[in-house]
Amino acid sequence: MYVIRDTNHENFRETVEARANSLLTGQPQFTLVEAAERLGADLRTVRRFWIAMGFPAVDDEENDKIFTGRDVEMMRRHFDKLTAGQLDSDTLNSLVRAQSHMADRLVLWQYEALVEFAESTFELDDLNARYWVIEHLDEYLPLLEEQMRYAWRRHMAAFLRRTELELRRRSPEVETPDLMPLQRAVGFIDLVAFTSRSRELGSEQLVSFMRDFEFTCRDVITSHGARLVKTVGDAVIFISEDLATGARVATELVNALGKIEGMQPVRASLAWGRIVSSFGDIFGPVVNLASRLVDIAPTGSVLIDRPTATAISSTLNNYMVLPFGQQDLRGTGSVEIFELRRLR
């Protein structure tokens, strides 16, 4: 069984610093002021870049050495795009925020996955498992980097193909400046009474429970051709480019999660309409409507509004649409609501 090899925290800190410096390809040697001078950039530009990366503001910009030569090199590549007019400042910072936000979540996910591996494989407690991962991380770094590069290229290629197909479907004649550009089915899936249930679970049970919920949602959503937008606490938001896929995913999610032993009851909603996509998220009245519908949905049901019900009834013959009543929804107004059921 693995045990902490060195209980001297100072020695362990030096080990961590050595690994961190290896990742950063060198020790920090420049202050923010010095980095700006080497780049020929103003302090505000460098400061905005650093904060867009998701790191806290530098306390002492003249004396705190936090930047490596690699940092300066990457900032120079970014700023060269500004100088060449290929990007403006807002777009540059948006791109930096996007990648940094995803990277921050990715490294946490990877670390926790390796901790779980160490716990189950070597029968370690949580503390020793975390030490084990830090000590053995170098063995996994090449694979983790290659996985990220491979997955990014694969997803970018798939996105380009989807986009080209959608552009061919859209007609310039029907485009209007005030119309949201993307026609999508927006779905929410929500755990019922999760807050009270989470109080009854230990940490390992809670992690296992949420893993089953999120992994099942991801598998169902992606396998049927929809895309997961994000998870918000105990809810998952997805979109699809056609209504048939959205209806199939919403009903199948309720069915699949209902079959998992010990899973909390779920409810869902679906709304068909136009949205706008930005910052890796989606916005618009249709998104708000779907959010309000899931809040009032009974356990095990999928609620939809009148336009979505009409579109389903006229195009899909393997679903049943049942009246649910008219309600005033916060921020949306009076909505005629229906329940969607799939005929099996």
pLDDT of residue 178: 54
DSSP-based three-state secondary structure for 192: coil
Separation of alpha carbons 208 and 199, rounded Å: 14
* Strands (DSSP E) found in the chain: 182-191, 227-232, 235-240, 266-278, 281-283, 302-305, 319-329, 333-342
One-letter identity of residue 122: F
Residue 95's pLDDT band (boundaries 50, 70, 90)? very high
Nearest in space to 68 (alpha carbons), one of 32, 122, 109, 107: 32
pLDDT of residue 201: 81
Nearest in space to 238 (alpha carbons), one of 207, 266, 212, 271: 271
pLDDT, tens digit, 9 for 90 and up, residues 260-289: 988 999 999 999 999 998 877 899 999 999
Q: What tokens appear for 101 in the block? A: 């936000």
Contact 187, 246 (CB under 8 A): yes
First-to-last alpha carbon distance for the chain, in angstroms, is 51
Separation of alpha carbons 264 and 167, rounded Å: 40
Across all residues in the chain, what is the average pLDDT?
91
Which string of b and e fits 173-207 if b means at least 16 CB within 10 Å? eeeeeeebebbbbbbbbbbeebeebeeeeeeeeee
Instruction: Give this prediction's pTM.
Output: 0.78
Average pLDDT over residues 210-238: 92
Average pLDDT over residues 5-31: 84
Average pLDDT over residues 239-251: 96
pLDDT, tens digit, 9 for 90 and up, residues 125-160: 999 999 999 999 999 999 999 999 999 999 999 999
pLDDT, tens digit, 9 for 90 and up, residues 280-323: 789 999 999 999 999 999 999 999 999 999 999 999 999 999 99
| pLDDT > 70: percent of the chain | 95
Query: CA 24, 26, 29, 33 torsion: positive or negative?
Result: negative
More confident: 314 or 173 = 314
pLDDT of residue 171: 62
